[in-house]
Chains A and B, each alone.
Chain A
Amino acid sequence: MAFLEVEQLGMRYGASRVLRNVSFSVEEGELIAILGPSGCGKTTLLNAVSGIAYPSEGKITLSGRDITFLPPEKRRFGVVFQGYALFPNLTVKKNVAYGLGSWDARKRADRVREMLELVGLADVCYRYPSQLSVGQQQRVALARALAPEPHILLLDEPFSALDASIRQQLAEELRRLQHQIGITTIMVTHDQQEAMSMADRIVIMKDGRIAQTGTPLEIYEAPADRFVASFIGRMNFLSFSFMEGREYGIRGEDIVVAEATELMLSQPHTWTAQITDLCYMGAFVRMELLLQDYSTRLWAEMSASAAAKFKKGGIVAVHLPQDKWRSWNGD
């Protein structure tokens, strides 16, 4: 039995159904990312899990106990909200201590110190939230959520307010922390790179439904449908007349681009193409290719050194190795 089980969850808001038939499970100690574009229902799902909203259908169980309609005060889940919701009138120290009201005073002080040291903010404990940077606020929110020893940690878009440079650093820190403490974590995000880099497993959502659940590798290698394929990484969609019922695509890094020699072009699934655009992306080069049918466009990715010999406008051979084709059922 999994630690947290979400079964057939449905949520209605007025006449529209925001969540339908959502089911997944979370093992103890896992970090699950709920990933999806805006409006897919991921925050609503988080609200249902945290107890802030009650679902219209379905069940949520924690270690076998049904907690679907348990109020948030009793659930003991730590939540970090979008915008952090730090109490503006309380110091950092008091914010972190907020959930420890029933604790013995000495233990409370110890725990607060422990948490602040964990997130590296022990020296600002007497400041107010408005006096902290965004990154610091996020850490305080984390410390506060973790202080009461919750069963599960829930994070709602924890990095959306941060600059790109801090984001990566904090993401790594969070991952390290989560491993260190071993707390089961559910993280909601719209950023697939974040999800891929941090999560043990990913739940991808679209329009209130789960599109696919799996490890980052599984999702990347074997996307379940067109949406997942395009949402995770970049996918070139292939449409050839001899394929029916199933859709095919190939990742940019799997495309082989070579000199247009006779030998190359005699290989199966190889065509000539013109390089219509070349973008130097730092670590790699992205190339836009127009196939000989003058309609199919592909994006290929390769290392800078491999791309060195090609120029924009040049004619090349493009080989799509069949074993690298990904496929899924068409709509």
Chain B
Amino acid sequence: MGRPSPRGVLVQLLLLFLLFPALIYPLYMLLVRSVSDDEGNFVGAANFLEYLHSPGLSSSFVHSLTISITVTALVVPAAFLLAYGLTHTRFSGRRICSLLVLLPLFVPSLLPAIGFVYLFGSQGIARFLLGGQELYGPLGIVLGNAVFTLPHATLLLLTSLRSVDSRLYMAAACLGAGPWRKFTSVTLPNARYGIINASFVVFTLSITDFGVPKVLGGDYSVLSTEIFSQVIGQQNLTMGALISLVLMAPTVLTLTLDTWARRAHARLSVQNARPVSNMEQKSSPLFGFVCWGILLLPMSSIAVVVIASFTAFWPYDMTPVLDNYFFEEAGYSLSSLGTSAAMALCAAVFGTAFLYTGAYLVERAQIPAPLKRLYRLLLLLPLSLPGLVLGLAYIFAFNSGPFSFLYDSFAILVINTIVHFSTVAHLTFVSALAKVDDNYEKAGRSMGVPAWKTALRVVVQQCRLPLADVFFYLFINAMTTVSSMAFLCGGRHTVAAISIVNMYDSGYLGSAAAMSTLVLAVTFGAGLLHVLFKKIVSAESFE
């Protein structure tokens, strides 16, 4: 490494400096609150002991684990079947199927949950499918979580299965291997890390989600609803802080295990693997049946909400009306949608800029290694931070003290969202930047152009696709996130996702369905823009 570039070091320090109030300080305050009593005196592990001794509180931990493990056990195989069907076989409607898989990503997690009420609740049109089982409770939470984690798992497994070199299949065939042997000796071992990674992701998403248990949980308490009830219902912020830490234990553990597994996998990864091409895929109506069958659940739960948004009062008055789209009576207005959109836009713009700069400095700039390591470590944290916990930590951090001007501001919503989704964005940029020829800056410098100019003029151009990916990732997640907004909203600013929760709670079901549909419309529009952008960029380049 050459001489550290002063400009680079300065910017890096600035970024780290910004991370302090955004991440470190709130976490610190959370920790402090969890070991203090209500007056602010240090009480050590007293809160934790109280937690262990109250049966209601500690059972929520067991419940959370049970649910998340069940969801993982259901979703990962289903996602594997989907991904395998989409990569290794051909069936009718395959391309549409691969697009529809992504649909739950475009809506808040509680939208399909509301859909389940319409489908499987006491008045549900498909109630018989549950066979007398109660929807509200563990079953409902498992179904709801399964729907919203399925696309995440499928995407991961798609990538993993695509990276299996098709020449391995050819080699196996020439050595006499039949289809089952090919699957066990080629497909599965090479997809191993993908399966592990998907399992951890599903587990973490499921255990940290708040929207689904809020709608479908009934009496069955899980950690996320417990935190909410402690903070809101009982005004016991201290216990809320403590349970937040309890919630982080499994997420930190899964993150550690996942990192370890990823390193073990690196040994196996093949460069320039050729994925299974169209000609090599076998036509399989069976897989078509299976894949469309799996998708039936999420599709129907979303579709029913959109339809219900146009009915007067489900299930007693099914006349089609537009009334639900006038939110004044429910106490809200389109302004919460506007706030969501504005926040999402700001989060996307500032988040992309900040995270790209950070990733660039860490990967390609001349900066002392300790600074880089610190930044990398800090950006790994948010992945194990549930949104609810981050929101609560922000309340502690920004209610009083040096940063209190941010409290209840629009800015805090944006910052919180960026931080919450920063890890994936950062990793995306890191892997994208690694693919860009690292000689560009050197070539520029030899021509008298400083590295940072080359970075802007050339490297950024090369990264247009990942930049767009991250931009829309941040935008869509900001539009649909519920957990991270649960504590931060209800002040001067409310986002659409929270207004949906509140309207549902207050009985304005139709309005909740209507707002959900509007959110879907916005995110869908964003998705179309994204696809359009990708088409334009690919047409320009020769890749």
Using CB atoms and an 8 Å cutoff, list the residues of chain A in contact with chain B: 50-53, 71-79, 81-83, 85-90, 98-99, 101-102, 128, 130, 144-145, 148
Contacts and interface: CB of A to CB of B under 8 A. Distances in A.
Nearest to B267: A130
Given A79-B171, A87-B189, A148-B175, 17 more contacts: A52-B170, A71-B173, A79-B170, A79-B174, A81-B167, A81-B170, A85-B170, A87-B168, A87-B185, A88-B267, A89-B268, A98-B177, A101-B176, A102-B176, A144-B175, A145-B174, A148-B176
B268 A85 contact: no
Contacts of A81: 167, 170-171
Among B165, B173, B176, residue most surrounded by chain A Cβ atoms (within 10 Å): B176
Given A73-B178, A101-B181, A85 B173 contact: no
A87 B174 CA distance: 13
B190 A72 contact: no
B172 interface: yes
B186 interface: yes
B270 interface: yes
Contacts, number: 74
B172 A98 contact: yes
- Pick the 4 closest A-B CB pairs, nearest first: A99-B175, A89-B189, A85-B167, A85-B171
Nearest to B272: A83
A99 B270 CA distance: 22
Contacts of B186: 87
11 contacts: A52-B173, A53-B279, A74-B176, A76-B176, A78-B174, A85-B167, A87-B171, A88-B190, A88-B269, A98-B185, A130-B268
A255 B185 CA distance: 59
Q: Is the interface of B mostly helix, strand, loop or mixed?
A: helix
Q: Is the interface of A mostly helix, strand, loop or mixed?
A: loop
Interface string B146-174: 00000000000000000001011011111
Contacts of B192: 89
Interface in B363-399: none
Given A87-B185, A88-B268, A88-B270, A99 B176 contact: yes
Among B167, B177, B189, B272, residue most surrounded by chain A Cβ atoms (within 10 Å): B167
Contacts of B185: 87, 90, 98
Nearest to B185: A87
Contacts of B272: 83
A73 B176 contact: yes
B180 to A, nearest CB: 12
A148 B181 CA distance: 17
B174 A72 contact: yes
B173 A98 contact: no
B268 A98 contact: no
Contacts of B171: 79, 81, 85-87, 144
B178 A89 contact: no
A90 B269 CA distance: 13
Interface in B225-256: none
A321 to B, nearest CB: 49
Contact of A73 (B173, B190, B268): B173
